[in-house]
Each structure stands twice: as C-alpha cells, then as structure tokens.
Amino acid sequence: MYTYEWDVSTGGYLLTKTASKFSKEPRPVYYKELDILGFDKCWNYEKQDDIPYMWAESSQYIYRGRIVAKTIGGSLYNPPKLEVYEEGLTLRPIDLKAMVDKNSEIMNSLVNDTIKKVYITFLEYRTKVDAFYVAFSGGKDSIVLLDIVQRALPHDEFFVVFGDTDMECEDTYKVREEIERFKGYQDISFHTAKSHLKATDTWDIFGPPSQTLRWCCSVHKTSPQIILLRKLLNKSNFKGMAFTGIRKDESISRSKYETISESEKHDGQYSFNAIDTWNTAELFLYIYQNDLIFNPSYKEGNSRVGCVVCPMSTLKNEYIRNASSSTETKPFIRKIITNSSKSLETDKDKEEFLACGGWKARRNGLELGNVILNYDEKIEGNNIVIKIPNPKTNWKEWIKTIGSIISIDETKYCIKYGDKQYDFILTDNEFGIIAVIDSILARENPQFVKGFKQVFRKTAYCIRCRVCESNCVQGYLNMVDEVKVDDKCLKCQKCHKVDMGCLIYKSIMMPKGGSGMGEKKSLNSYSTHGVQKEWIKSYFEHKDNFKNNHLLGGPMFNFFKRFLRDAELMENENFSSTAIIVDDIGIETDVAWGIILTNLSYAPQVGWYIKNIEFDQLYTRESIILMLEDEGVNKRGSNQILSAYRRILMETPLGENIGLGKVELKGKNKTVTSIIRTSWKNPDPKVILYGLYKFAEACGDYYQFTLSRLLNHDIDSNGVSPTLIFGIERDVMTKLLSGLSVNHPDFITVGFTHDLDNITLNRDKTSADVLELF
C-alpha cells in the first residue's frame, strides 16, 4: 500500500505515507540463502537463523541501503551468477525491533483499517452466506490474513481450510501443524482439503502441469476444498465466503481483481481479498511486529512457498528449492523426465532439458512420451464418428448430464436435448465404444454437439478426479466409488465447464492431424488485425521501403508481416518475387487474390478455415468458436481469430469476389455473428494450375493424380486441392482442366475417357514456373 525507504541505522526500511500501486516486493535475506547462493565466499556473517542480514528486491541484494550484489540467471541445477559490488563485508543483523517501532504508527493505522474492513464485510454478508473461512496456504500472505481475521471476528464465526496439494514443501506442513497450536488460535477450527489422488500419480496420468495446462490447481486445490466444505456444512448448494491472501501488487492481472467477487473461481462462492492493498514490506513488518510463525522456506531464499516443483516458478527459485529440498523435488523432476517425448538418455541431456524450462510451455500431448490415446473423433462422410477403445466410465451416466435417452434398438438411440430430439448410433462391446451422429448437427445445434463430444471424452478418460463433481452445485453427481448421475439432474451442464469436457483429454490431446504433423503452429496468427486494404495498398506502393514508410504500430506491423509472409508476398523483409508478379497482374484484381489465397491455404489460420468451413453453409459465431475450442483455442484467441477473419473477408477481394466468405455483423464493434462461404464464380484457369502445382509439391512431388482425388476432401493430406480452396464442382473443374491441357500442354495433360480422369503435371515444372505464365 505504501512506498518505503531504506533505513541505514536499523538495516531495515521505513514506510512513507505515499501510496504505491506496485511494490518492488522486498523480502528478508537470512544466512541460509546466502550460503546456498555462495555469498559465504564473499562476506562474513554468523550462521544464526533468527534475524535476517539484508533485503532482496528481485535479483538485487540491499545491505543497509546499498545495493551490494546481484544474481544473474540460474537454473534447476546451476546456481545464479553472482555480481558482488562490495567484497569482504562483515554483515550485521537487521535491528528488527527498532524497524518495527519506527513503522508502528503507519502499520497500526493500516492494520486497524483492515480489521475494520473484515468486520464490516462480515456484518454485510453474514445473512448471505453459509460460512466464512480462511483459505490457508502456509505462506506469509495467509499467515498475516489469518491473524487479521481472528482479531476481527469471533473464532466460532469462521474456520480455516488448508489446501494440501500433496506437493507442498515439508516446511509448509510443519507450519500447518504449528499454526493450530499457536497462541490464541486454539479455539479456531482447522481443516485440511486434499484430493484422494496422489500427486505423483496424476503427473503420470495428466502429464506434468505447464503454464497453460494447470490442471493441478483444479484437481489438487480448488475441487477438494469445495468438496470438503460441502461435507462440513452438509449442504451441496452452499454459499461460502473465502478470505484470501491475493494482493493487487503481485501482478498486473491481480491488480484488476475486485476486493469482493462472486463466482470468480467457483460458481456461487464469494472471495474476499482482505489484504489486497498490502505489499510484502507491510506483510513482513506485521509478522515481525506480532511475532507470527515464519515459514522456514523464506529463509532459504524462496520468494514464494507452495508446490515444490511448479511451472510458474522462476529458474532461480527452482535452483534454490532443489538445492535446499532435493529429496522433495526429486520425485516430480523424475516425472518430468519420464513423461517427456524427447530422447533424454544421458544425465547431461536431462539436465539441459530441465535447465531450459521447456517443459513449462507444454500445450498438448505432443510433448508427452507415454500418452495412450483413448478417444478418436473424425468426420466420416456425413457423420461425426467417435471411437473409444477402452472406456473408463459408463457413458450412460454421463449422457444424463445433457439429456434423456431412449433406446430404440441395440444400437439406435434417441436423446431429448431441451425441446429437441436427436438420433445417434452407438455400439458398445469388447472392442470398445463407437458413437455416430449426423455432422450437420454441428451447425444446427453446436452446443448439443459440444456436450455430446464431452460426454464421450469423460467416458474415455475420467479417473474420478472429482472436478466435475465439485462443479455440480446440486449434488446430483457423485464420483466417490464410480460415476453416478442422479436422475434428478437438471442438465445445467456445469459439470461440462472444465476445458474440453475433461482435464485429462485437454492435457494429453494431440493437435488435429496427429503427432505426425510435428509442432503445430498457432491458429491465432494475426491477432485481431488480419489485414486492411490500406496496408496492402501501402505495401505495394513502397515495396522494399515499406518498413521505413508504414504508419503501423509495432504489433500491427508484426502481424501484417506474418500475413505477407504467409501469402508469400514478403521474403526476408523484402518484396518477394511472387509480390512482383502480383504487382504486375494488379493487386486490385481477383486473379492476384486467387494466387494469394492459394498461398494462404498453406498457412495455419486461413488453412484451418478452408479445411473446416464448408461452402454454402451458415456458420454462427458460436459454432465457429466451438470448432476452434476443439482445436484447443481459448475464448480470447477465438474472438481474435474471428476479428481477423472479418478484416480479411471485408477488406480484400477474398470475401465475396473469391468466395472465401460473407460476414454478418452487429453493433458498433462490428462483431461477427455469422459467416457463409461461397465458391469463386469465375475461377481463373492459370490460378487453378498454380494451385495444382502447389498441391503436388506439398504432397511430396505427387505429380500424377485423378480428379476424383482432388474432389475427395476427406483424405488427410498436406496438399490443399484447388477445388477445396475455391469451391469448384466436378463439371467446372473438368472444363478448366481440359482448357489448361490445350493451352498449356507443357505443364499439364489430362484424360477423361473410358471412365478415367487422369491428371499429369510436368515434373520439370514448378509452381514458380506457373507464375511466369501471368
């Protein structure tokens, strides 16, 4: 809340009355941290564990107001490099009592205001909630928070819930034991929330957590807490208010949190961030002022306590944690190694892999080596076909969460979904489950199809982690011994709120196209920007000098460059040879944009659109977002992709002229409400020839094929057929190919006799040669 100044006389700091939005997060430095990092070779100090010697702000070490050292880098097995500015110091401990006394006036005011805020909130919400509880982690924030709350409220008006993730450091478990016996706390009710699943087992099943796949928070933290509270209160649909230690200065995202919020983390539950305006300078002062329990992990140099191995940790913190608690980190480090798809045969290979922290960036199952895929979903003809070789749970229980089913015969079923009914076919035998529904439903009722798919993802992978159960506020879903859905289920689908329907499926799913595709590029290639008419005009006007003459902001320029590269109009920051030909043709012409679209078809974002958005079908915004969700794109990314599509379709001839799509918009923000794709009415033969050569080259020099092959868009292929790009039917394509074989026999020959439709391209020619024909 307040800024601070260093106080040379005490070795501490003085709070000022100037408010601060963000703090530098000072923390005390004890001898153990100095030893772990190697400062004992530079400075002299006693090995006493009661009082800190200095302070640290991020990587800088401050002794009595002077920056005396800095750490650089570091990794799991490698200590940070030390930059020592004052060698040979004999360190004196900080005078904590004097520091506390000097800050007492400001601290007392802050504390009294916070206690008052807690009490007023209690009075306001006591009739609105069933229980108040302190979310306790064993770290500095929750230790201070608990003391504030117990001073503000009668001890029988709240209780404490410790979230045991089964990944906490040993010091935190000791703090949990000590806090219950702490002076004045003996009449407070303490409880522990813990998953029935062992953490090391879940790291094998889900794959190690990453910065984008943080399933661990739901499985080992949030859900066990909700399930415990239901048991304590004997009420499924309870209302609780959690006192949390979240603070605004911890991050930019947390700075935007409301002090009191509802359903932020769990439906129907309140969160009260009672100390959200405090900073670490004030937290440590309060701990020293009141002689509270101090988690020993901080004395070793950990800026935060929590899970012993966490994808959100800094590399320096990983080193400190591993150096001080290797027996605790080793089981989880082993899981990172054994679950990796990389060939890590030597100790050096393993150390280098862990040192770079690449495991933290995992987005899907592609980086996992032990994945057993148990769910396959494909479009076959006019059907969506789902196959599950080894179902883990009963699909008939899960399907109750979206509708009521009627068995027509052994394999035919009808499901009542809302006020509609849909048929599906399902076989369930010793070979597994195969479920089939009409693919047209994905457009007619995408929400139903989403739920239907999620039913079978749960069937395929559910290990009863109980996250879905915790989302069911009515208590109609029980996962203790087996999955059981009460017939009174309201079909609210809150149990479907987990990403992709199942956290295991989300964590181990392969990118569409399978592991053979290699690393999948992002579909969100152009953010919200796409391309604008004026940008294209300026690029073709300035050519190689565009980078010095454009008026775009940094992000816009970068995304536009990506578009130009995808369209093959830019090469090494310069006007490409393709761009020169397009310029000669005329950038305003449909022919030029036909060439551009052909190239864009091989880029992730436009390529996905061409392969997934069918011609003459209306796709609502919701249906496209659900389709993107199936690709692992989050809601924010989906909205950005739709924004880029809007610009591409409206700002270029690709939209209505070439047939890439028409958009319907609403509101001042011109939000896309629907898209319909139409074919290119007058396709240029040479553009089609160019597309054929691009297709052949992408298929591995596949220079002889049939028209039937070109028209079969269900075949998984690296090449994109011109018929799929431009929506060309067989009869039109036959005429185009016949004309090309007459006008350009040195490039293509075709034969449409005796029921044969052979197409042969000249192996000595390339797509670049075709461009020379324009």
- Residue 520 in this model has a pLDDT that exceeds 70: no
| Residue 521 or residue 546, greater confidence | 546
The one-letter code for the residue type at 453 is K
- Residue 357 in this model has a pLDDT that exceeds 90: no
Q: Could you tell me the two tokens for 683?
A: 């396709």
CATH number of 690-771: 1.10.10
pLDDT band for 519, please (50, 70, 90 cuts): very low
Task: Supply the mean pLDDT for the chain.
Answer: 91
pLDDT at 312: 87
- Residue 140 in this model has a pLDDT that exceeds 50: yes
pLDDT at 22: 65
| Residue 697 or residue 357, greater confidence | 697
- Rounded distance between C-alpha atoms, residue 501 and residue 447, angstroms: 12
Q: Could you tell me the two tokens for 246?
A: 């979240």
Q: Is 479 helix (H, G, I), strand (E, B) or coil?
A: coil
Rg (CA), the chain: 31
Exposure string over 746-770, b if 16+ CB within 10 A, otherwise e? ebbbbeeeeeebebebeeebebeeb
- Rounded distance between C-alpha atoms, residue 473 and residue 395, angstroms: 21
pLDDT tens-place string over residues 636-674? 888 899 999 998 998 888 988 888 888 888 887 788 888
pLDDT band for 755, please (50, 70, 90 cuts): low
Cβ–Cβ under 8 Å, residues 506 and 213: yes
Residue ranges, comma separated, of all CATH 1.10.10 domains in the chain are 690-771
Give ∠ CA 415-417-418 in degrees, rounded to 5.
Answer: 150
Which CATH architecture best describes the domain 102-299?
Answer: 3-Layer(aba) Sandwich (3.40)
pLDDT tens-place string over residues 421-436? 999 999 999 999 999 9
**Element of type H or E holding 596:** helix 590-600
pLDDT at 398: 97
Q: Is 303 helix (H, G, I), strand (E, B) or coil?
A: coil
pLDDT at 263: 77
Q: Could you tell me the two tokens for 754?
A: 């005796």
pLDDT at 21: 64
- Residue 237 in this model has a pLDDT that exceeds 50: yes
pLDDT at 720: 94
- Residue 31 in this model has a pLDDT that exceeds 80: yes
Residue ranges, comma separated, of all CATH 3.40.50.620 domains in the chain are 102-299
pLDDT at 514: 37
Residue with tokens 């000590």: 178
Single out the residue of 137, 153, 98 nearest to residue 288, CA to CA: 98
pLDDT band for 599, please (50, 70, 90 cuts): very high
- Rounded distance between C-alpha atoms, residue 377 and residue 387, angstroms: 7
- Residue 517 in this model has a pLDDT that exceeds 60: no
pLDDT tens-place string over residues 167-185? 999 999 999 999 999 999 9
Q: Order across the sheet with 270-273: list the strands.
A: 189-194, 159-164, 131-136, 240-244, 270-273, 260-262
Strand partners, 163: 193
pLDDT at 516: 33
Instruction: Write the CB contacts of 602 (distance below 8 Å, at least 6 apart in sequence).
Output: 566, 694, 698, 720
- Rounded distance between C-alpha atoms, residue 638 and residue 625, angstroms: 6
pLDDT tens-place string over residues 278-305? 999 999 999 999 999 999 999 999 988 8
pLDDT band for 500, please (50, 70, 90 cuts): confident
pLDDT at 753: 63
In angstroms, the Cα distances linking 730 to 723, 734, 757 are: 9, 6, 11
Q: Could you tell me the two tokens for 718?
A: 């690296």
Sequence length of the chain is 774
Q: What share of the chain is helix, strand, coil (3-state, %, to 5)?
A: 45, 20, 40
Q: Is 571 helix (H, G, I), strand (E, B) or coil?
A: strand
pLDDT band for 754, please (50, 70, 90 cuts): low
- Residue 265 in this model has a pLDDT that exceeds 90: no
Instruction: Write the CB contacts of 335 (distance below 8 Å, at least 6 apart in sequence).
Output: 200, 203, 204, 208
pLDDT band for 527, please (50, 70, 90 cuts): confident
pLDDT at 756: 53
pLDDT at 718: 86
DSSP-derived letter for residue 746 is: T
pLDDT tens-place string over residues 541-584? 999 999 888 888 878 888 899 999 999 999 988 999 999 999 99
pLDDT (average), residues 363-373: 87
Burial class (CB in 10 A: 0-12, 13-18, 19+), 604: middle
Q: Could you tell me the two tokens for 310?
A: 């966490």
pLDDT band for 628, please (50, 70, 90 cuts): confident
- Residue 217 in this model has a pLDDT that exceeds 70: yes
- Residue 771 in this model has a pLDDT that exceeds 50: yes
DSSP 604-647: HHHHHHHHHS-BT-EEEHHHHHHHHHHTT--HHHHHHHHHHHHH
Give ∠ CA 370-373-376 in degrees, rounded to 5.
Answer: 160
